Every structure is written in structure tokens, then in C-alpha cells.
Amino acid sequence: MNMIQAINSAMDVLMDRDPDIVVMGEDVGYFGGVFRATAGLQAKYGKTRVFDTPITEIGIIGVSIGMGAYGLRPVPEIQFADYIYPALDQLVSEAARLRYRSAGEFTAPITVRSPYGGGIFGGQTHSQSPEGIFTHVSGIKTVIPSTPYDAKGLLIAAIEDNDPVLFLEPKRIYNGPFNGHWDRPASNWSAHPAGEVPTGYYRVELGKAKIVRPGNDLTILAYGTMVHVVLASVEEAGVDAEVIDLRTLVPLDIETIEASVKKTGRCMIVHEATRTGGFGAELSALVQERCFHHLEAPIERVTGFDTPYPHSLEWAYFPGPVRIGQALAKIMKD
């Protein structure tokens, strides 16, 4: 399966098991979603479980919270993460706080799916990586898969989770892994081991990172598309890096990170999102606090620049193999 099919399969498998799961969003019903992630679900489960919504992100999330309060388990889609901002108040002030402010009387067991990230010439409003806005909010979990296998298993775990989960899907790797070499032919998931996805039910637990490449020279923390870019960059640089795919940003798998950095003595953080106030800053602070005496070099952050996401200058903006390679050379020299 590619990642879209895996995401579709996760919803299909769970909707079949739990009649309280509903899927909603702009164009998700009859049409099956602008990325086809919900294709076939309305025909199979009916219009009261899979339906199109008006174009209002406030409404999509607000209505989902109300459905959750009733006892349903909504899986709303925000068509692009760039368009999640109108719903920020509902997510930050309501979904994330409902359990806390009602001392558990009401909860918001919603999973907000949203395609995110760049590398597709999406320009300013089809490329953003807003995860840092949400990792800053107490009460919401943030999950980002990097393979079809994880996408399905993590989405199942997210939907079954009783807390609100933001499930960001790296749209650049919907159809195949992307190593950052935009000028080379694209590959697809059928040639990748993680494209092997069971058709039935399985979970990939939230809060657990995955070491995708064991190594001894340094630790690289990444998620989403950047996992694949990092893997390619490491091979090209000939560095024995330990690459960790975080998979869940909140709650974070600190044990895996800490053990790795204490072993390697160096840490690099790579994300597409802009640098200042990005999630990399939190990762850097945590590693510094917990691994200070093991560090042999300053922690390196390779991120998007602090600018809006550009259109024509995309490959100068995107943290690709060239920038990562230079950062690798620097951190290994320190």
C-alpha cells in the first residue's frame, strides 16, 4: 500500500469495528477526499458516518468536539494543515482543555487528520509544518508517520485514543518515500519494505519512537518526510548515524532519544518547519538538559528557514541532502 491507501485502510478497519466512528471534512464524502484518503468509505458506511462538510474549519472541529461529547469518535479532516488556523480556538481552548476543565466529565476523543509539509511546490499555503504550534498546547497529542505501515498503525492507535490527537500526514511521501533529491526520479512505496501493510487490524503505539538506522557516530532526530531525507543524506556522507523517527511528538519517547545521544555523544535535529520556536528547539533543550555531560559537540538544528514557505525557491528553502550534509560535516568536526 502507499500511505494514502494505508490511511484509508486504518479508517476502514476501525469503522467496521466501531459504529461510533464518523469521518467528516471538506470533500471527504462522495468524492473521497482531495488526496483520496477517504475514497470508498461513504459508499461502504453511509452518509451519516462519512460526510462532506461546509468550508469552515471552526465548524468542522467544533462539531467534532460536540459529537465526541455525545459519545461518538469523530475523525475530522482539515484539507491542508495550512488551513487549520481558523480552528485553533476550538483545538486549543476546547478539545485540548475539555477533559481538564471538566475534571473528566467530558472528553474530546477526536483525531484530526491533516496533510502537512512541503516539497511539492505547494507555495505558502500548501506546504506548512505547524506541529510546533500544537506541541506547545497541553492536552493534545501530535503524531506524524513516515511510512505506510506506521501511518496505518499509528492512525488506528490515534483514533482509539481517548485524547484529542493531531495526526499530520506528510503529503510529500503519500505515494513514495522522498530522499530530498527532487531532481531525480521519484520512487514509490511498492519498492520499500514499509510499503508492506497488513490489511487487517494492528496498532503502532503512540509515544514510541523508532530507530530506523542504528549507528554510533551521532544521533539524528527526525519525523515525517525528513526521516527519508536524513537516511539518504547519512549514506551519502558516509557517517554512521543513529537515525530516530520520533513518530509521536507529544508524548515524546524521551528514553529512546536519551539512550541514543548518551551512546553517540552528538545530536542533530532535522525538521521542515521554521526554526524559531519550532519543535526542534524543545528537542534541543531536552537533549541538552538530559545528556549534557555526554555531548561532544553543540546540538545542530537543520530546519526550514524563518520565512513563509516560498514557491519558486522551494529547493533552497527545503532542508535537503546538501544542507544536511554540510551540517553533518560540521557536527562531526566539532
Partner 1 sequence: MSDASRRSNLPPLALHVPEPKFRPGDAVDFAEVSVPPVDAARRPDTADAAAGFHDLAFGLVRVLDLDGTAGGQWDPRISPDLKRQMLRNMALTRAFDERMFRAQRQGKTSFYMKSLGEEAVSVGAAAALASDDMCFPSYRQQGILISRGCPLTDMMNQIYSNRGDKLQGKQLPIMYSEKGFGFFSISGNLTTQYPQAVGWAMASAAKGDTRIAATWCGEGSTAEGDFHSACTFASVYRAPVIFNVVNNQWAISSFSGFAGAESTTFAARAIGYGIAGLRVDGNDVLAVYAATLWAAERARTNAGPTLIEHFTYRAEGHSTSDDPSQYRSAGEPTAWPLGDPIVRLRDHLIATGEWDMDRHAEMDRELAEQVKAAQKEAEKNGILGHGLHQPLDSLFDGVFEEMPWHLREQQAQMVAEEEASGRPWARK
Which amino acid belongs to residue 163? D
Contact with partner 1 (CB under 8 A) among 25, 29, 33, 68: 68
* 259: nearest Cα among 274, 242, 247, 283: 242
CA separation for the pair 128, 170 (Å, rounded): 10
Question: Distances in Å between the alpha carbon of 211 and those of 8, 20, 223?
Answer: 26, 35, 11
CB of 278 to partner 1, least distance (A): 18
Q: Whole-angstrom Cα distance, residue 271 to residue 116?
A: 12
Q: How far is the CB of 88 from partner 1 (least distance, A)?
A: 11
Judged by CB under 8 A, does residue 69 bind partner 1? yes
Which of 66, 198, 214, 298 forms a contact with partner 1 (CB under 8 A)? 66
- With both helix axes pointing from N to C terminus, report the angle between 3-17 and 148-160 in degrees, rounded to the nearest 10: 30
Site for partner 1 (CB under 8 A): which residue of 5, 42, 64, 79?
Answer: 64
Can you list the positions of beta strands (E) in 117-222? Answer: 141-143, 165-170, 210-213, 218-222
**Rg (the chain; Cα; Å):** 19
The CA-to-CA distance between both ends of the chain, in Å, stands at 42
53: contact with partner 1 by CB under 8 A:
yes
- How many of the chain's residues bind partner 1 (CB under 8 A)? 48
Is residue 62 part of the contact set for partner 1 (CB under 8 A)?
Answer: yes
Going from the C-alpha of 290 to that of each of 80, 221, 267, 278, 297, the distances in angstroms are: 35, 15, 12, 19, 15
Distance from C-alpha of 125 to C-alpha of 25, rounded to nearest angstrom = 18
The CB-of-30 to partner 1 minimum distance in angstroms stands at 15
Nearer to partner 1, 104 or 185 (CB): 104
Q: Which stretch binds partner 1 (CB under 8 A): 55-63, 121-129, 195-203, 315-323?
A: 55-63
Of the two residues 136 and 181, which places its CB atom closer to partner 1 in the complex? 136
| Nearest-5° Cα angle at 328, 324 to 330 | 120
Stretch that binds partner 1, among 26-34, 71-79, 197-205, 228-236 (CB under 8 A): 71-79
Nearest Cα to Cα of residue 177 among 228, 222, 241, 124: 228
Q: Does 48 interact with partner 1 (rule: CB under 8 A)?
A: yes
Encoded one letter per residue, x for contact with partner 1 by CB under 8 A and - for no contact, window 191-220 reads ----------------x-------------
C-beta of 68 vs 130, nearer to partner 1? 68
Rounded to whole angstroms, the Cα distance separating 316 from 193 reads: 30
> Nearer to partner 1 by C-beta: 90 or 147?
90
When the beta carbons of 255 and 334 are compared against partner 1, the nearer one is 255
Residues forming the active site: 126
The site map against partner 1 for 85-124 (x = CB under 8 A) is: -x--xx--xx--xxxxxxxxxxx-----------------
Query: What span, in angstroms and rounded, lies between the C-alpha atoms of 161 and 206?
Result: 9
State which residue, 100 or 121, has the beta carbon closest to partner 1.
100
CB 134 within 8 A of CB 166: yes
Q: What letter does residue 305 receive in the DSSP assignment?
A: -
User: Which residue's CB is nearer to partner 1, number 164 or number 177?
Assistant: 164
State which amino acid sits at residue 67: M
**153 scored as a contact of partner 1 (CB under 8 A):** no
The span of 25-33, 58-66, 177-185, 231-239 binding partner 1 (CB under 8 A) equals 58-66
163 near partner 1 (CB under 8 A): yes
Chain positions contacting partner 1, by CB under 8 A: 22, 48-49, 53-54, 56, 58-59, 61-72, 74, 86, 89-90, 93-94, 97-107, 138-139, 141, 161-163, 207, 250-252, 254
